[in-house]
Chain A
Amino acid sequence: MKSVFKRNRIHLIIALFFLLLFLVPAAYKIFVLKYPVISRSSENLWAFELKINFRSSGKKDTLRHFLPKSEKGQTVLNENFVSEHFYFVIEREEGNIGITWKGDEHKGDMQLYYRATIETEPAAFSLPPRGEEKKYSAYIFQYLFLDEGMESVNVELSEFLGNLLQGTDSKLERARRIYTFLTRDVATVPLDKGSSLTTPIQRRQATISQKNKLFIHLCRLSDIPTRSVHGILLEEGIRQRNIHTWAEVYFQGMWIPIDIEKELFARLPDNILILYRGDDPFMTSAIKGIEYSYTVSRDRQSSFAQFYESTARLGSKFHEWSLFSLPVETQQVFRLILMIPLGAVVVSIFRNLIGINTFGTFMPVLIALAFRNTRLGWGLLLFSMVIILGLASRWYMDRLKLLLVPRLSIIVTVLVIILAVGSIIGQHVGVYRIMAVALFPMVIMTMTIERLSLLLMERGWQEALKVSMGTLAVAVFSFFVLSIHQIQEFFFAFPETLFALIAVQVLLGRYTGYRLTEYFRFASFINGKSS
């Protein structure tokens, strides 16, 4: 063993050098920049888009609405504002973020867009222990004011509340009594004509919005600061304007959510995007005929991408010059390209360590990459079919006695036709996987067909089958390695891993041990027949 190291000292040094080229930047990223090492794609990542449509009259229009902010249960990762003739001002007030769009004097149809990437997480609210409330600040105190529009304090209501809250000694318990009364004892109806607050109590039925108002009113009457909260329930592909409203009550320095509609006490609904607090409408403007809608979709980004987006604004040069700074489509291309060297390592291992014969060096890797789009089953089926059809045409052409280059050109043409027809059939049958055949590496397949047919003629079908099976086996194995999402993301976040691959290849390149298949080749020595 010692002599092996001595003879290959230079190779070991080179391998070590490349290993360091990988380890140093990777360690810097992991330990200093705190890159996540294992990527998991987040289930709670959402792309939110708000679209506002109206016809501008040509005056200086203004319009105001609220924006989500990062808070308990949600993180706003990435925001984007698009408008052609409007500029905007963002201001914070009373725990809300508002945006005011101001237009120039342009006339015509207007579109304003707000886009954001939001990560939600389940938020648990532990109820505070019993204790005396300190004096409320003026800010909190405002949430005890009773709405003047409602017949604020009538005798009937006070009496009812007195009965309801009999024997309660804490504000929390009072809030829970009111919550239980509204969710259990009052039926929910879609429409109710009565506008007074007492009629729902008398009739024991109310609409959702009445219940919400009633809850806030009763809580405030019981001396609990309460406010309403508005948000959007995040569901895949939602395209509507339906704002969900619930309440927050203030206990010992904490706002606790209480949702009458969804019957949640001290819990936020799952996948909720909190927009704003208070009784204002979501959007205010003097413009007539204003319409807004929003779309929500899951954003299956990796935690690396998320991490990058949340830290990109920190201004580190390392981030600025990383692959994440590329346009998204180019990023996707590089996600694939970075996999090719890894596939080549797999091929090296199969050929030099195991000793499996394949068509060409990179054929298996390219097939494996094509399989990523077709999935494995379809990929194997389609690939075999294309090869067999190509072989059939090649077999017929053999009788025509064509020269080599025109013959190869015909094979490549036939392949293009097969792939085009396959794609069209896929479209019409509705099996879209078939369409991905267009991504098969055509030129390499042409050479494969030619070599396969020569092998068939010269060495017989056993040999041809053996090499084909070897190629497919390596392709399938590479496919499994290359489709590990974590590996792909790791290479993308740590492209210096390619240096480690060079180190591995240098070592593989000096591997002078036996190949696994040489066990069979030299079996007569191993079984000791020679002695």
Chain B
Amino acid sequence: MWFKRLASLGILGINQRNANYTLLANPRKNYPLADDKLLTKELAILNGINVPELYGLIRHHHELSTVLAIADKHPHFVVKPSMGSEGEGILVLTVCDSGFERPNGQIISSEDLMHYLSGILSGLHSLGGQDDKALVEYKVEVAPVFEHVAYRGVPDVRIIVYRGVPVMSMMRLPTRESNGKANLHQGAIGVGIDLTRGVSTHGVHHNRIITAHPDTNQPIHGITIPYWHTMLDIAARCHDMTKLGYLGVDVVIDKTLGPMILEINARPGLSIQVANQAGLSFRLEAVDRNLRHTLTLDERIRLGQEIADQCTHTAIEACRQTTQAARP
């Protein structure tokens, strides 16, 4: 029975995630800290966490043209809705002769851009459709290590943090198919990361395990991620500042500025398990068993790494046992 097999591997299902983790660990009133990127940004700056610099904020329709003034000063910039979900509504732009150019070569006129911004303000991309703000911010430059495995976009690292303990992470590589976006169901590649060493393991593309990037043919396993400990540190501190018990932190590495957080997700998806070929349940349960209030930030990170190591071994063991049981 596949139910039992998934359970024996500790795979977290969406119902269980909602009922036992997000609903229990995330206080409703703290959701805006994750859902509203402006709040996240302000909070991160207060806590000394690196974020992409905010060039400008557009709150009202009469402010739309300020984006042009920003473009004069910063030829590369990103426009995003403050309350967009799953990377929706994000526009990466570079100033060019006839207006603005997207990474895929599409040209957007100033008028198009203003209309796009007014759509953001009207709540087109926001979660509940309520009025929103548009952020105009620094465009993250791809770090050299990722240049060969990212197609027209910036790879980001998603770290799941449970009660302040980083438990699992993956790297998301944009592809031609995903149009530069880092969303797995749009065709981006999910790559599992060894939590202790910060080295990529195997990649998953459309639920199939792959070893090389489909567009660049470069190997995607064995990549050592720079600033790994800093990234785990940032992720764990995101829990402390938002008081969200179960969250996904999206970190990017800028070529010159190093790691910075892009956004925090209060309902992180479950595909990370596919990318790591490991289940979350055992790790989350292990955190519940071993977490003590006295643990320092570093101790929490170490706990997460130990749990991840153990669980990887036990998961492999469990796999072996179930497959052996299936073939007597």
Contacts and interface: CB of A to CB of B under 8 A. Distances in A.
Interface in A514-531: 514-515, 518-526, 528-531
Give the bracket for the number of chain A residues in contact with chain B.
Answer: 20 to 34
Contact of A518 (B13, B118, B323): B13
B20 interface: yes
Given A512-B19, A513-B15, A518 B207 contact: no
B15 A519 contact: no
A511 B279 CA distance: 19
Interface string B1-25: 0110111010101111001100000
B2 A526 contact: yes
A94 to B, nearest CB: 74
Interface in A366-411: 401, 403-405
A524 B119 contact: no
A514 B277 contact: no
A531 B323 CA distance: 8
B322 to A, nearest CB: 8
Contacts of A513: 3, 13, 15-16
Interface in B271-328: 271, 273-274, 277-279, 315-316, 319-320, 322-323
A513 B7 CA distance: 9
Contacts of A530: 9, 277-278, 315-316, 319
Interface in A474-531: 509-515, 518-526, 528-531
Interface residues of B, number: 40
A104 B188 CA distance: 90
B316 A512 contact: no
A521 B123 CA distance: 31
Contact of B277 (A405, A454, A525): A525
Contacts of B186: 459
Nearest to A518: B13
B277 A515 contact: no
A518 B316 CA distance: 21
A529 B13 contact: no
Contacts, number: 84
Nearest to B271: A521
B319 A528 contact: yes
B236 interface: no
B107 interface: no
A525 B278 CA distance: 8
A169 interface: no
B16 A404 contact: no
Contact of B15 (A454, A512, A525): A512
A25 interface: no
Residue of A510, A512, A514, A525 ringed by the most chain B CB atoms within 10 A: A525
Interface string B255-270: 0000000000000001
B311 to A, nearest CB: 13
B11 A515 contact: no
B6 A525 contact: yes
A352 to B, nearest CB: 6
B38 interface: no
B142 interface: no
Nearest to A531: B319
Contacts of B14: 355, 515, 518
A523 B274 CA distance: 9
B233 interface: no
A458 interface: yes
Contacts of B274: 521-522, 524-525
Interface of A: 352, 355, 401, 403-405, 454, 458-459, 509-515, 518-526, 528-531
Given A519-B2, A522-B6, A525-B9, 19 more contacts: A404-B123, A404-B124, A511-B15, A511-B19, A512-B19, A513-B3, A513-B15, A514-B3, A514-B6, A515-B14, A522-B274, A524-B277, A525-B6, A526-B5, A530-B9, A530-B278, A530-B315, A530-B319, A531-B316
